[in-house]
Structure 1
Amino acid sequence: MIEIKEKTEKEIIFVTTNKGKIASAQKELENIKVLPIEAELIEPRSDDIREIAKQKVLQAYSIVKQPCIALDSGFFIPALNGFPRAYVNHMLDTIGIEGILKLMDGVENRACEFRSCLAYYDGEEMRLFESKSPGVIAEKSRGSDNENSWSDLWFIFIPRHFRKTMAEFDEEDFLEYNRVKEASGMKKFGEWYSGL
Structure 2
Amino acid sequence: MKEIIFVTTNKGKIASAQKELTNIKVLPIEAELNEPRSDDIKEIAKQKVLQAYAIVKRPCIALDSGFFVSALNGFPRAYVNHMLDTIGIEGILKLLRDEENRECEFRSCLAYYDGEEMRFFESKSPGFISQEIRGSENESKWSDLWYLFIPKHFDKTLAEFDEIDFMEYNRVKEDSGMKKFGEWYHRNDLVSR
Which category describes the TM-score, using the shorter chain as reference length? over 0.9
1:17 corresponds to = 9
Q: Which runs of 4+ in 1 moved over 2 A?
A: none
In the alignment, residue 125 of structure 1 is paired with which amino acid?
E
Percent identity of equivalent pairs: 82
Deviations 1:11-69 (A, max 9, x none): 00000000000000000000000000000000000000000000000000000000000
Provide the secondary structure at the position in 1 that maps to 2:110.
strand
Provide the secondary structure at the position in 2 that maps to 1:40.
coil
Deviations 1:147-187 (A, max 9, x none): 11000000000000000000000110000000000000000
| 1:187 partnered with 2:175 | no
| 1:104 partnered with 2:85 | no
| 1:53 partnered with 2:33 | no
Provide the secondary structure at the position in 1 that maps to 2:81.
helix
Deviations 1:72-101 (A, max 9, x none): 000000110100000000000000000000
The CA RMSD measured in Å over matched residues stands at 0.3
- Residue of structure 1 aligned with 2:54, choices 62, 65, 87: 62
Provide the secondary structure at the position in 1 that maps to 2:35.
coil
2:119 corresponds to = 127
Deviations 1:133-156 (A, max 9, x none): 000000000000101100000000
For normalisation by structure 1, the TM-score amounts to 0.96
In the alignment, residue 45 of structure 2 is paired with which amino acid?
A
Deviations 1:87-144 (A, max 9, x none): 0000000000000000001101100000000000000000000000000000000000
Provide the secondary structure at the position in 2 that maps to 1:133.
strand
Unmatched segments (≥5 aa) in structure 2: 189-193
Q: For residues 50 and 28 of structure 1, what CA distance do their matches in structure 2 show?
A: 20
| 1:93 partnered with 2:85 | yes
Q: For residues 21 and 27 of structure 2, what CA distance do their matches in structure 1 show?
A: 11
Q: For residues 144 and 126 of structure 1, what CA distance do their matches in structure 2 show?
A: 37
- Note the 1:92-171 alignment, pairs <5 A: 92-171=84-163
Provide the secondary structure at the position in 2 that maps to 1:53.
helix
Say how many residue pairs are matched.
188
Unmatched segments (≥5 aa) in structure 1: 1-8
For normalisation by structure 2, the TM-score amounts to 0.97
